[in-house]
Amino acid sequence: MKKQVAGTIIKNDSRGTSFLVSRDQRGGYYFYHLAVRENQSPLASVLWELRHNVGIDVDQLRLYDSIIAEISGEKVAVFVFDHLAIDERVEQLFEKRGLAFVPASQLHHLFESVNVGQTSPMEDFSK
């Protein structure tokens, strides 16, 4: 089994804070995840995926946080980015991959289901 990595992007606007997530068939949210690419670090794998398969300009991304989380019993690196220019075109690129920005207030179950310990600033979003 290949090691997994996950990533999300934070979007702050007049409506508040949103996170880039996917939705499963049961309607639950989850972080965008993928297998770590051979001969690449977990971070490089996420950036490669966002650049080559999603099609966004990853040079605009800024790493906000990185954590090791336990997701479905597996330890997974989760990279959280800020993005400087999220416009309609960028949102359409995400939508093609089943990704959307969802307000933090709707992600309580996701934040509670991802065990990140007591030191992560992401824990504040679950409240």
pLDDT tens for each residue of 58-89: 999 999 998 888 877 788 999 999 987 888 99
The position carrying tokens 């606007």 is 13
Strand partners, 74: 71
**Paired sense of beta strands 4-13 and 74-83, if any:** parallel
pLDDT (0 to 100) of residue 117: 56
How many domains does the chain contain in total?
Answer: 1
CA-angle at 27, arms to 23 and 33, nearest 5°: 25
% of residues, the chain, pLDDT over 70:
89
Q: What is the pTM of this model?
A: 0.84
Q: What does the alpha-carbon distance between residue 83 and residue 51 come to, in Å, rounded to a whole number?
A: 13
Domain that residue 51 falls in: 4-126
Q: 109 pLDDT band (50/70/90 cuts)? A: confident
For residue 117, give the CATH number of its domain: 3.90.79.10
Residues 79-101, mean pLDDT to the nearest whole number: 91
